Structure 1
Amino acid sequence: MMKKRESFNTRWGFIMACIGSAVGMGNIWMFSTRVSLYGGGAFLIPYVIFVALIGFTGVIGEMTFGRATRSGPVDAFGLACEKKGKRKFGEALGLIPVVGSLAMAIGYTVVMGWILKYTVGAFTGVTLAPVDVDEFAAAFGSMASAFGNTGWQVVILLVAMGILMFGVGRGIEKVNKVLMPVFFLLFVALGIYVAFQPGAVDGYHYIFGVDKQALVDPKTWIFALGQAFFSLSVAGNGTLIYGSYLPDEENIPAAAGRVAFFDTLAAMLAALVIIPAMATTGAQLDQGGPGLLFIFLPNLIKNMPGGKIIVIIFFVAVLFAGLTSLINLYEAPIATVQEKFHLERKPACAVIAVVGVIVSILIQGIVSGWMDVLSIYICPLGAGLAGIMLFWVCGKDYVETQVNKGRNSRFTSWFYPICKYVYVPVCMLVLILGIALGGIG
């Protein structure tokens, strides 16, 4: 007798879990920088367009594919190819997004180890102890070196695995229902605080002002596409696996719309904190990635009124956002181990934890290059393969039947052709542009 598949207990829990998977470091350390570099509102216009496109196509598609097959990427791809007698080939292709999810989770574990250390340091005073930007840079450089932060990253991985061992309903869902609302509340509080700082209004003018020259610059559109694509977590793994835990009564297009909205809201909240905060000191926000989070912002916060409280709120919020994404990234490989090796949940988590601990320790000094390879090659390839399997291999009738489950009215007939002829080529375009430009995510 086949074991009943786990599922989310509530619609709200599923939505919070999907928002948690999408809201992560990209919303915080990359979005604000790109808004600053590419003309404020001039970047927001194409970004919103691409979020709408990818939310309407890729997010709905991956959730639908997961629910339709009640499985992770390996079996989903295998089932798609089974009618053509190519199940083994499909399963082999399905390993790409699964391995990609595991590799991304391992790299993310290193980053989350940094965040955990800085969060604890925010309470003890260590995070703001350096006296100037050079000392902040030296402290970060020491931590981000080979074997420079082993203990903290092992702790965060064990925390994530502890949550995952409780399963979908009692672990993933419960944690996201707490952490995501708290994340939003903390960033709203930070945004209100920053709004009352002298000079913050200059930041708002920049965010919402449209630089016409930047708007017609192809790079603005390219990097807005990359930001939207990676922010919404379409990679043929996490969103697909969460979809597999959904009941047929769930209205997937409506759920995907909420995920896209709240993911964009999280990015905007981060920008409304970071850019006006930089404006209060007259600083130019031209640094993205870890440098912004671990060097420039702590240096800025140190000199703000109430900096000791602000740094605690900021890093707790960032920790919550990162932890929910880390859980999502580890879920696809755990579910795959369960499916293919017929293991119970806890042993599957233990297997993946051992791999995660060993590899994350070994890549500490090269994590930036590790993540670049994954974001340039594996993520868009996984998304593209999932799109091909669903929209090209499974076909129109299958897709429309599956996407309309749980709906009171039939979903638009434009969904299938836009996914097939626009979204799938966009995935390939993201792959090509990423290779050509050294990454756009």
Structure 2
Amino acid sequence: MEKREKFSSRLGFILISAGCAIGLGNVWRFPYITGKYGGGAFVLMYLFFLVVLGLPIVVMELAVGRGSQKSSAMSFNALEPEGSKWHVFRYFSMAGNYLLMMFYTTIGGWMLAYFYKMSVGVFEGADAKQIENIFSTLTSNRNEMLFWMILISVIALAVCSVGLQNGVEFITKIMMTSLLVLMLVLVVRSVSLENAAEGLKFYLFPSFEKMREAGVKEAIFAAMGQAFFTLSVGAGSIAIFGSYIGKERSLAGEAVSITVLDTFVAVVAGLIIFPACFAFDINPGEGPGLVFVTLPNVFREMVGGRIWGSLFFLFMTFAALSTIIAVFQNIIQYARDLWNWPLWKSVLINGVVLIVLSIPCVLGLTDWSSFTIGGKNIMDIEDFLVSNNILPLGSMVYLLFCVTRYGWGWDNFLREANTGEGMKFPSGKGIRFYLTFILPLIVLIIFVQGYMGIFFK
């Protein structure tokens, strides 16, 4: 069996792991809910939940990956007590990764399409109605969406086919560094616009009054949900990168670096969006409308808007592509660990299957748009299955596996997490009690809340 590849540098590991966590939710959801639920007051609440909810599970996923030196295909087999069935989770883990890519590649394709459209001047001279029509035309054109979905998938597969160091690590380092530079350039442009200060005040000024208006309970659940989902924990996508690193550094410090980078991108996205929207008196919405309708309207008003718009959609493409490459790498390594496939075979077979399985999402927006379940189209159903089922339940599995004697166990987890230099994971009785009894309950509440949102709107 060929020797398992390792990252060539710590920076590569942190950027790729953060790239997996940094996704489109950082840009089209976080800034909006921050503004809605009280600005800086919400950010503080979000950061608190990030530390007490997300961070421990990131450390646990990394520990399971590094301790086993396997992807989620075989990591539980390597660490579980004899006769236990933790390894059954691998099927749910892989289903989660596949399901995520079945709709995420379509949205990533939209980003690539908009970068192209903005670069070649499709938006030049377009009014607000025409800008709206450009998006509705894209999302109703089956063949165009298929083209962009397949293109971004092939780009990601090509990167993964070169291997971990020469492909995934090399390209992701360039993309993530470029992403951070692009963001800072866009922030400087945005905050220097006239009336930008009003947008900054709306976004960051702590307003408990606004939080009360929106509902304190709703704000708490929004902060918990965002903190939990932003890191992409629970599907084994973080664990895979733990399996590629050595024992030189302890895992708590690495998890903090990943979390800080993820949060930085989310917060800075708001520094781009709100000052620009307020400068041109355009209401910042949420979701795809914000990115594909609102912001092109902002760039239309801006001097040099075509350049700034192109840079923005290049940044968005990198954010999407970094996640796609990371999850593809997990899927490809999964098949290699489970069936000992060579790299080319895993890339080829998984690539074909991934692209074929992504077609229903495109059809769900076009030819099959009348097909819905509970008012949700195919993309929404796939998103719900991942975000509200696989991620919380998968996080519960990693959590219980690391803290109970029926799994890997607390002592084994701590030993792995704290091996190496750097910040140590706390080992006190209070922390163990919290992680064993309270955090699983919180994860369960987040899981139930997802269904409450459907049945009790």
**TM superposition score category, shorter chain reference:** over 0.9
Match of 1:383 in 2: 395
Distance 1:378 1:129, change over 3 A: farther
Match of 1:395 in 2: 409
Residue 19 of structure 1 aligns to a residue whose secondary structure is: helix
Please tell me whether residue 412 in structure 1 is matched to residue 407 in structure 2. no
- 8 Å Cα contact 1:238-1:332 kept in structure 2: yes
Match of 2:267 in 1: 268
How far 1:108 moved relative to its partner? 0.8
Residue 363 of structure 1 aligns to a residue whose secondary structure is: helix
How far 1:214 moved relative to its partner? 4.2
- 8 Å Cα contact 1:80-1:390 kept in structure 2: no
Task: Summarize the alignment of residues 4-403 of structure 1 with structure 2, pairs less than 5 Å apart.
Answer: 4-81=3-80, 83-86=81-84, 89-126=85-122, 128-129=123-124, 131-145=126-140, 146-215=142-211, 217-285=216-284, 287-364=285-362, 365=365, 366-392=378-404, 393-403=407-417
Residue 259 of structure 1 aligns to a residue whose secondary structure is: helix
- 8 Å Cα contact 2:102-2:382 kept in structure 1: no
Let me know the Cα RMSD of the aligned residues: 1.9
1:410-430 deviations in Å (ceiling 9; x for gaps): 542145444333333332222
TM-score scaled by length of structure 1: 0.93
How far 1:347 moved relative to its partner? 1.0
Distance 1:167 1:272, change over 3 A: same
1:21-66 deviations in Å (ceiling 9; x for gaps): 1111011111111112112112111111111223430111111111
Residue 193 of structure 2 aligns to a residue whose secondary structure is: coil
1:172-224 deviations in Å (ceiling 9; x for gaps): 11112111111111111111111111110001111222221344511111111
**Counterparts of 1:160 and 1:166, CA distance in 2:** 11
1:46-87 deviations in Å (ceiling 9; x for gaps): 111111223430111111111011112232233344x2403x
Match of 2:440 in 1: 424
Instruction: Give, as a single letter, the amino acid of the residue that structure 2 aligns with 1:420.
Output: T
**Counterparts of 2:31 and 2:264, CA distance in 1:** 12
- 8 Å Cα contact 2:253-2:422 kept in structure 1: no
Give the gaps of 5 or more residues in structure 2: 366-377
1:106-149 deviations in Å (ceiling 9; x for gaps): 211111111111111111112x1573333323222232234441
- 8 Å Cα contact 1:18-1:239 kept in structure 2: yes
**Counterparts of 1:214 and 1:79, CA distance in 2:** 50
Question: Structure 1 vs Structure 2: percent identity of aligned residues?
Answer: 26
- 8 Å Cα contact 1:32-1:267 kept in structure 2: yes
Q: How many residues align?
A: 433
- 8 Å Cα contact 1:20-1:324 kept in structure 2: yes
Please tell me whether residue 435 in structure 1 is matched to residue 451 in structure 2. yes
Instruction: Give, as a single letter, the amino acid of the residue that structure 2 aligns with 1:314.
Output: F
**Counterparts of 1:159 and 1:3, CA distance in 2:** 25
Give the gaps of 5 or more residues in structure 1: none
**Counterparts of 1:410 and 1:35, CA distance in 2:** 31
Instruction: Give, as a single letter, the amino acid of the residue that structure 1 aligns with 2:209.
Output: Q
Distance 1:356 1:99, change over 3 A: same
**Counterparts of 1:72 and 1:429, CA distance in 2:** 28
How far 1:103 moved relative to its partner? 1.2
Distance 1:101 1:203, change over 3 A: same
Residue 111 of structure 1 aligns to a residue whose secondary structure is: helix
